[in-house]
Chain A
């Protein structure tokens, strides 16, 4: 079955710390990969996406993610987090031939000032 795993359910960091959130998916075929973010009280917003090409993709607000095909992973990173990065982060996968997104369970990030 198609599935997405996010290993960290809750992460607490201090401002300026580095962030890495893990994401693994279950399918070995062609995939499109996404990270969505949900700030408190707001709707899900696209943070970044990978379709093809350079496996290191850059998104908004200084976030980046690296697609490692051999590990079925798409980890999210940011070198220095800010208090405003406090949010819930969802990894999602779109499997070839299907338009629907399969989401992970999400990671709640709390950045303390």
Chain B
């Protein structure tokens, strides 16, 4: 079975620029998650979707981060404008049940 696909793998931008990340979950998985993993820390949930509805976005910095999951399949996470502290790996995960999450390879963002 195909895994969670993410793109791009790497992105370098300057502060105040905008950036977008894309995720395609495992086919049939209703739940999709975006995590932020800062160097030296564990992943932290940014937003959780159930189909195309938001379940939890309590830790999403909504002044600069946005995410959507149109049609309940793939998802896009956007940062606008980026700050230096946004440098991190952005992980997408999907879940089909039993609370097990499957992770993509992530997008490594460097903000200069």
**Chain A interfacial positions (CB closer than 8 Å to B):** 4, 32, 34, 36, 42-46, 49, 51, 90, 92, 94, 98-106
Contacts and interface: CB of A to CB of B under 8 A. Distances in A.
B33 A106 contact: no
Interface of B: 3-4, 31, 33, 40-45, 48, 55-56, 91, 93, 95, 98-106
Contacts, number: 52
A51 B91 CA distance: 24
Contacts of B42: 4, 90, 92, 103-106
B95 A99 contact: yes
A76 to B, nearest CB: 14
30 contacts: A4-B42, A32-B99, A36-B103, A42-B105, A43-B3, A43-B91, A43-B103, A43-B104, A43-B105, A44-B43, A44-B93, A46-B100, A46-B101, A49-B100, A51-B98, A51-B99, A90-B43, A98-B56, A99-B48, A99-B55, A99-B56, A100-B45, A100-B48, A101-B33, A101-B43, A101-B45, A101-B101, A103-B43, A105-B40, A106-B42
